[in-house]
Structure 1
Amino acid sequence: MLESYLIGLVVSGGIIVAIGAQNAYVLGLAVRREHHWWSAGLCMGTDLLLVAAGMFGMSAVLLTVPGALEALRWLGVAFLGWLAAQALYRAGTGRGGLETGGGGERGRGRVLLATLAVTVLNPQVYLDTLLLIPSVGAQQESAAAFVAGAGSASVLWFSLLAWGGALLSPWLSRPGAWRAIDGAIGLMMAGIAAQLAGGSLGGLA
């Protein structure tokens, strides 16, 4: 059970850390100190609901389609490899820092609606929570422990974004910081893809 929890924590954490629209939006709010904890909390809850739905739904599918797990495993490898390539490309070429200026603080309701839109309108969120993470979790001994680990990763990551983004806003506003972040993300995604391709993640349970 502990192994399932830790695998959920590591796999989900590695995927969540990939800076996409959702994470960049929360980080931008944190840099501006604009209702960032409310936004982070909404992201945590949404992630947990989606991972749980994908995890338990995936288990039922795999029971009726024995070859589905193998297909999902290689789809996961390809998707993670694509994320790694994108991140490493951004690390090599660079990109602009977060804009810390703004046109006035928005109300909490508007921030939460925008956070929800960034989350549910991003196809990558569904690939991660309904497909990729459950494809690994379905191989674990305890599905509940895996989901708990995945949920913990979301809580830890978005708490770090909200707290760290506000604390380190001067540093995070510089483009050089993003190159370091993207480089770390690319290496992490490549490592997870290699482990999944070798079947070592499933073999830990």
Structure 2
Amino acid sequence: MNALVAGFSLSLSLILAIGAQNAFVLKQGLKKHHVFMVCGICALSDAILIVAGVAGFGALIASFPAIESIASLGGAAFLIAYGSRSLISAFTAEHALDPAGDATASAWKTALACLAFTWLNPHVYLDTLVLIGSISTQYSDKLMFTAGAVAASLTFFFSLGYGARLLTPIFQQPRAWKMLDGLIALIMYAIAASLLLRVLDWGPG
């Protein structure tokens, strides 16, 4: 039971930080746009990475640091592009929150964007493969530790995606959408900058 609680607590503490992936899930939840699919992709991706980390693949990343650099460059490029799109939307688009959701949007494009936010983010690999993987060695019951970590990810993403609709009254106002788009753009640019600085070895760690 201790391993289960430890895995859940560690995973939840890592995932709670505001980031590009969480901002994307929040926005999809507010739009009621393929919410189950988006939450499922995020949770399943986390589960795969957590299991891999506990199984020992974190050592592979540590042995070949070039993998992290390549992922950082790809992630930064994607975040800059998506951030720019959000910034343009904040200044030009006329937003309206449709209570029925956005049924005409492409599930395929949404899924690809969700996968990109997850798999092009080097911080995800650091948190799951390296950090969770290394801490799991302290517990003899790795199965329970892994189950706790996966459960935390599942709980968080579905709570964020479906809990976002509680903010619907606020986002009935177009101004609120513009502010959200602006905030998302800032988050994307900040994370992209941190990734580039890490590649150039100007940042911490």
Give your verdict on TM over 0.5. Answer: yes
Give the Cα separation in 2 of the matches to 1:169 and 1:142: 42
After TM superposition, the runs of 4+ consecutive aligned structure 1 residues lying more than 6 A away are none
Taking the aligned partners of 2:14 and 2:170, their CA distance within structure 1 comes to 24
Partner in structure 2 of residue 101 of structure 1: 95
Contact persistence 1:30–1:36 (CA under 8 A): yes
Q: How does 1:118-137 map to 2 (within 5 A)?
A: 118-137=117-136
Aligned-residue identity in percent: 37
Partner of 2:76: none
Q: How does 1:53-92 map to 2 (within 5 A)?
A: 53-57=52-56
Identify the residue that residue 29 of structure 1 maps to in structure 2: 28
Query: What is the letter of the counterpart of residue 17 of structure 1?
Result: L
Q: Give the Cα separation in 1 of the matches to 2:24 and 2:120.
A: 13
Structure 2: give runs of 5+ residues left out of the alignment: 63-86, 97-101, 184-205
Q: Give the letter aligned to residue 120 of structure 1.
A: W
Question: In the TM superposition, what is the alpha-carbon distance from 1:109 to its structure 2 partner?
Answer: 1.1
Q: Which sections of structure 1, spanning at least 5 residues, go unmatched?
A: 62-67, 69-95, 179-205
Aligned positions of 1:143-162 closer than 5 A: 143-162=142-161
Looking at structure 1, the residues matched to 169 and 137 of structure 2 have their Cα atoms a distance apart, in angstroms, of 42
Q: Deviations over 1:81-102 (max 9, x none)?
A: xxxxxxxxxxxxxxx9xx7937
CA RMSD of aligned residues (A): 3.0
TM-score, length of structure 1 as denominator length: 0.61
Tell me, yes or no, if the aligned pair for 1:43 and 1:119 is still in contact at 8 Å. Answer: yes
Aligned residue identity for 2:95? G
| 1:163, distance to aligned residue in structure 2 (A) | 1.0
Give the Cα–Cα distance (whole angstroms) in 2 for the partners of residues 35 and 169 of structure 1.
16
- 1:18 match: 17
Report the Cα distance in structure 2 between the residues aligned to 1:148 and 1:136, rounded to whole angstroms. 14
**CA positional deviation for 1:11:** 0.5
Q: What is residue 82 of structure 1 aligned with on the other side?
A: none
Aligned residues: 141
SS in 2 for 1:138: helix
Please name the residue that 2:77 is paired with: none
Cα distance between partner residues in 1 of 2:53 and 2:117:
19
